[in-house]
Amino acid sequence: MKTNTLIIGSSSGIGLEATKFFLKKSHNVIGISRRNNNIKSKKFRHINFDLNNFQDYDQLYSNIYNKFGPINNLLFSAGVQFIRPSSIISANDIKKIFNINLKSPILFSKFISNKRFFKRPGSVIFISSVIASRPASGQSLYGSSKSGVINHAKSLALEVSKYKININTISPGMLKGPMLSKYSKNISKDIYEKITKQHPLGIGKFTDIVNGIDFLFSSKSRWITGIDLTIDGGYSL
């Protein structure tokens, strides 16, 4: 029996690594992003979509179902992050971060709750961040949006539990990748080294997060819902 896995934010970071991983496990992967990740596989289909186009979400849901059938697993890994001290935050900054990091995953709950679109039982994972529970200077917007995702996921988990749909979040620590490179350019070398040392097991890799996703998508996590799985190399300690 085929497994349809929908990955939102499939062109980079955790989403891209998860796409490659689940294709190797013979899932049919549907990736949503503004650019294609150029993966060549008969089991991969890409949908070019800007998550800021909220008026088109209902049509997107119908298109996914009509082309691929109901979804078994959903990973929401799209996200926006930038440093902005509270003293200079603008309304546009709030819109940029909250639109993608919080408003979009909330709106996808309509897709998840629809018995025609989403299989039952099923599993959903929203990517949050350790910043949601361990605030960092200049990241009040990012942390607020990600803590909102955790709260939303817990509420949604209660709502859809009767359908045997598991809803969880994963909060990664610092990971090697483009986002880390961009972040490190905006802080001093001393601060970067301090943050690095705050990860007792070192800076993580995307595969460390994907292993957690694989577990929460598997039957082994059948009795787990509404949790936030922290994978941070000990940073939150």
Scanning the structure block, which residue is given the tokens 């990012």? 142
Q: Write down the pLDDT at residue 181.
A: 63
Task: Read off the amino acid at residue 235.
Answer: Y
- Label residue 42 exposed, middle or buried (CB < 10 Å: 0-12, 13-18, 19+): exposed
- Give the pLDDT of the chain (237 residues) as one tens digit per residue: 789 999 999 999 999 999 999 999 999 999 999 988 789 899 999 999 999 999 999 999 999 999 999 999 999 999 998 889 999 999 999 999 999 999 999 999 999 999 999 999 999 999 999 999 998 888 999 999 999 999 999 999 999 999 999 999 999 998 987 666 666 666 677 877 887 888 999 889 999 999 999 999 999 999 999 999 999 999 998
| pLDDT computed for residue 192 by the predictor | 74
Q: pLDDT tens, 133-162?
A: 998 888 999 999 999 999 999 999 999 999
Task: Dig out the tokens for 233 from the structure.
Answer: 């190399």
By DSSP bridging, strand 165-172 and strand 118-127 are: parallel
Confidence (pTM): 0.94
Long-range contacts, 21-24 (Cβ 8 Å, 24+): 21/207, 21/210, 21/213, 21/214, 22/214
Contact yes or no for 41/23 (Cβ under 8 A): yes
Omega of the bond leading into 121 within 30 degrees of 0 (cis): yes
* Cα–Cα distance measured from residue 7 to residue 89, given in angstroms and rounded to the nearest whole number: 30
For the chain, helix (H) and strand (E) counts, in that order, are 9, 7
> What is the predicted pLDDT for the residue at 223?
97
